[in-house]
A and B are shown apart, each in its own frame.
Chain A
């Protein structure tokens, strides 16, 4: 799977929107963009995924650039419970089926 680049850390104030960026300049046409998060002392949790179009679910929104070389995870109103490491992961149709986790973005939410 292609590589992703994320900032090591970000801060946000509670109740404000958070935009978490991810660069994936070598993405292939069949790669899905997945976001997972890992809260302290817990296993990773699926957040959202998309292929080409922007996606919304109850947890977040995913904005995908037109050329698909970058994407942004949007938390509309950050809460203290959103403090976690957020991982942007590409999953393609190749032989590898596992998730390949990078170092992710540590999100700190300030009260």
Chain B
């Protein structure tokens, strides 16, 4: 079946512009996660959605970052007034639920470059 998809695959933007990154999780997966990976760095958690519960936003680095998940499926990560330090690969993952024995399936990521 189809895996997690993300769009765009690459995004180049100018400092100060807003960007939207999209994630289509695997159908039926109630848990959705956003992570980012800066060049040469490890993966950093950003936000977690589980069903209709309030999202866990504890990993968002600043109030310029926000995310929503519509209809329990597609999610959009929005970065306002982008800065050069926002340049990274943004990865989305989904799992059947948030329980600790469920594996997470990752998308290919969106590479964001802020000039």
Chain A contact residues, CB within 8 Å of chain B = 30-32, 34, 36, 42-46, 49, 51, 91-93, 95-104
Contacts and interface: CB of A to CB of B under 8 A. Distances in A.
Interface string B86-105: 00000101000011110111
A21 to B, nearest CB: 19
Contact of B104 (A93, A99, A102, A103): A99
Contact of B105 (A34, A46, A101, A104): A46
Contacts of A92: 100
Given A93-B100, A103-B42, A98 B59 contact: yes
Which 10 pairs from chain A and chain B are nearest by CB?
A43-B106, A91-B100, A97-B98, A46-B103, A98-B45, A101-B43, A32-B100, A101-B42, A44-B106, A43-B91
Interface centre among A42, A91, A97 (most CB of B within 10 A): A97
Contacts, number: 58
Given A43-B107, A92-B100, A99-B93, 19 more contacts: A43-B91, A44-B43, A46-B104, A46-B105, A49-B101, A51-B101, A91-B101, A93-B99, A95-B56, A97-B33, A97-B48, A98-B33, A98-B35, A98-B56, A99-B33, A99-B45, A100-B45, A102-B42, A104-B42
A97 B106 contact: no
A73 B73 CA distance: 33
Interface of B: 31, 33, 35, 42-43, 45, 48, 50, 56, 59, 91, 93, 98-101, 103-109
Contacts of B56: 95-98
Contacts of B31: 97
B31 to A, nearest CB: 7
A27 B101 CA distance: 15
Contact of B108 (A31, A34, A43): A43
B21 to A, nearest CB: 14
B100 A43 contact: no
